[in-house]
Chain A
């Protein structure tokens, strides 16, 4: 999904700055790669950045908003307005392919495709040794967006970014 507007230089600079903001809970990926930034519109009198929460109770949203404020203050002096959009709801399908590789490299198994997986037992690849012989330890992990898994070959526990 490409919601970027063919905009002016300011909007491009804003997108670049947003692309450098790491997700507070999973700092190996940026908020743009996670699909949290929906839209940027820069007019003469203000910049409007539309964000969408991964989970409605995501405690990182406030931190993300304040990170956006500080990052954008460096690239534009237009007043910033942050809008939260719920529709369509964020799903893990919004995570960019490059971010999936970064998650795996950081030891977090990236999510499968939501449409194929919800309510079925999914096969999850161990980010450590690549084995598919893995099992779920718990439905929820260190953050709301992850589940805990264990590899039955290398025996390492790991986080799985849940498709949702």
Chain B
């Protein structure tokens, strides 16, 4: 378990590093610093997928969340690596080398737990079933994304649904897991993470992340 603790931390570190690169670029356009964007926005100003703000739960919950995201992340970055915006392409190409490792690790865990004991299989299936409703949003382009997709700058996330599902099906088959049926998807009504409408979990995460710079606005690190 120590090894997995380290692995989760390292994946987190990669994602933090990537987030810094994205926020620094966004900040250059928007006029706010990377720290300003991370620490001084309210939850309604964040545009992340609802999936990634879901709680850690048990280890199957953590792995299900990670895998469903990683499998999407790797496809999106591969698209962004050919973006017409050279800065986006550079960040994506860098991040892709890291995220290939993430999906390799999380997919192996899905298989290990799914095709494991009755207990681990049951938890892995339950975790997947519970998180499935957050996966629809990953493949719906927001109104603000469409012009960017047409200009060849952003990834066409709707076109990624088919390859994503194919990858998920193949991992789940090896893991002896059932791919949940598509039913109600959170965010499908245009009120999800991409519009700043979040689950309550994001506020808890932000409180922990933002408390220090908000309490000591002049802190330097």
Binding site for B on A (CB under 8 A): 53, 55-59, 86-91, 118-119, 137-144, 148, 162, 164
The answer for the CA separation of A118 and B97 in the assembled complex, in Å, is 10
Query: Which residues of B in the span 62-111 have a Cβ within 8 Å of any Cβ on A?
Result: 86, 89-91, 93-98, 100-101, 104-105, 108
Known: A56-B17, A90-B94, A119-B104. 17 other contacts (CB 8 A): A57-B20, A86-B93, A86-B94, A87-B89, A87-B93, A87-B94, A89-B93, A91-B97, A118-B100, A139-B7, A139-B101, A139-B104, A139-B108, A140-B3, A140-B11, A141-B6, A143-B10
User: Does B120 sit within 8 A of A, measured CB to CB?
Assistant: no
Bound-state CA distance A140–B109 (Å) is 13
Q: Which residue of A lies closest to B16 (CB)?
A: A57
Which residues of B does A touch, CB under 8 Å? 3-4, 6-7, 10-11, 13-18, 20-21, 86, 89-91, 93-98, 100-101, 104-105, 108
Residue contact A144 to B90, C-beta cutoff 8 Å: no
A70 vs B108: C-alpha distance in the bound complex, in angstroms? 44
CB neighbours of B4 from chain A (8 A): 138
Return B121 CB to nearest CB of chain A, in Å. Answer: 22
Q: Contacts A139-B7, A140-B6; is A55 near B91 (CB within 8 Å)?
A: no
B15's partner among A57, A118, A164 (CB-CB below 8 A) is A57
A48 to chain B: closest CB distance in Å?
Answer: 18
Complexed CA–CA distance, A49 and B99 (Å): 28
The answer, among B18, B20, B98, B108, for a CB contact under 8 Å with A164, is: B98
Whether A137 contacts B3 by the Cβ 8 Å rule is yes
Can you report 18 A-B residue pairs in the complex whose CB atoms are below 8 A from each other? A55-B14, A57-B17, A57-B20, A86-B91, A87-B93, A87-B94, A89-B96, A89-B97, A138-B7, A139-B105, A139-B108, A140-B3, A140-B6, A141-B6, A142-B6, A143-B10, A144-B10, A164-B100
Q: Is the CB of A57 within 8 A of B18?
A: yes
Task: Decide if B7 touches A56 in the complex (CB within 8 Å).
Answer: no
Point out the residue from A56, A118, A137 that lies within 8 Å of B95, measured CB to CB.
A56
Least distance between B63 CB and chain A CB atoms (Å): 13
Q: Which A residues are in CB contact (< 8 Å) with B93?
A: 86-89
- How far, in angstroms, from A54 to B80 measured CA to CA in the complex? 20
Residues of A contacting B15 in the complex (Cβ-Cβ under 8 angstroms): 57
- For B3, give its contact among A86, A87, A138 (CB under 8 Å): A138
In the complex formed, the residue of B with least CB distance to A91 is B97
